[in-house]
Amino acid sequence: MRLLLTLVLAAAFCAQAEQPSSTPMPDPKNIAKAREILKEVPVIDGHNDLPWQFRKHSNALERVDISLVDLRTNCSKADLVTDFPRLRAGGVGGQFWSVYIPPELTNAVAVQAVLEQIDVVHRLVAKYPDQLELALTADDVERIQRKGKIASLIGMEGGHSINNSLAVLRMTYDLGARYMTLTHTKNIDWADAATDKPLHHGLTEFGEAVVHEMNRLGMLVDISHVSEDTMKAALRVSKAPVIFSHSNARALCDHVRNASDDVLKMLAKNNGIMMVNFYPEYLIDSNREWYRAEHREKKRLQETIKDEDKLDAALAEWRKTNPEPHHASIADVANHIDHICKVAGVDHVGIGSDYEGFDGPPEGLEDVSKYPDLFAELIRRGHSDDDIKKIAGLNILRVLHDAEKVSKSMR
């Protein structure tokens, strides 16, 4: 009996030891300190996919009231993590709203879709003028923040949306787009994506022309989602600082979409910024294979299930029998920030949560109200007030200002 009890206790100890390390509960004093810092320098988040959530409802803004905390009462499709009360609690003063369209949409259909998504952002700003204001420059961001509103910037996710046309690129800029992610998950005619087979091994001649035109316009070149060859090509070609709007460090999570230390060093020389992503697949290696299996299952289900609600239900059943092996935490996000600071420097890191673009956020970062908790963890680790200000917003503001200077010099 004593032997049996010993074996049971040993097994329990081993099972406990295999669990991922948890983050200590945030110190209320550090949270309070973080909130005070964010009053001075609010969070500017590089990537939130809220506009796509509206597209699931035919872009009918009346279907979802983001002035409410509990969105489940008025949005049957998804439990969103973004609304004004939680944005305010999170200390958010600037947000790049992603105007994403799937890479399966191509040619003129892609152009129409991205224009419709840009229209969503304009309509959101018009619907909530007491909360949001469209920002077109770095000065706009700071001016809008001083008014107590959330500066709303537009980020295009995927170069397929311009349909190989510099004219379309220019027109999206005129409509307010201030960055473009060169690819999404699939290669395009002029650039390779991280998650596709190499085709161009970087940028084509036209791809370089796109980067130059973005520099001339003052549109940030975003190299999230692109292959390493494309990252390096864009960093070599761009005359202005580039951004990763929502990416992580490959040294900590070996996903092809993440950036190697070599790329991080190039980013520092370019004076650009990596805005850290909260998506667990890009945070910890133990989750990468599980997410790959989930993606394969979703693709398999899509072959026979066309209704999105039924597809989500079938995928939820798969998750019940194939649970996530570990769950990422706020500590994992802080680890990526620390690594980028170590390799590239604290001047080259920011926040690009990817909220509304994935399910299952890290423990401790369940919604947009949790940014102070992340900064409290960084304070616990020894980051200074100046570090927090840079990571929260000053770094991306500097990049915006620098891109505008380059644009003026090219015109």
Active site residues: 47, 49, 157, 184, 225, 246, 354
How far is Cα 145 from Cα 151, in angstroms, rounded to an integer? Answer: 6
* Cα-based distances in Å from 270 to 260, 261, 344, 347, 399: 15, 14, 10, 11, 10
How far is Cα 155 from Cα 176, in angstroms, rounded to an integer? Answer: 9
Residue 62's DSSP bridge partners are none
Q: Is 364 exposed, middle or buried, given 0-12, 13-18 or 19+ CB atoms closer than 10 A?
A: buried
| C-alpha triplet 259, 377, 387: angle, nearest 5° | 65
Nearest to 153 by CA among 174, 137, 142: 137
Both tokens of residue 227?
Answer: 């292959």
Q: What is the dihedral of CA 254, 200, 232, 394, to 10 degrees?
A: -80
Find where tokens 């510099």 sit: 166
Both tokens of residue 345?
Answer: 């420097």
Helix (H) or strand (E) holding 77: none
Nearest to 224 by CA among 49, 384, 84: 49
- Cβ-based neighbours of 386, under 8 Å, separated by 6 or more: none
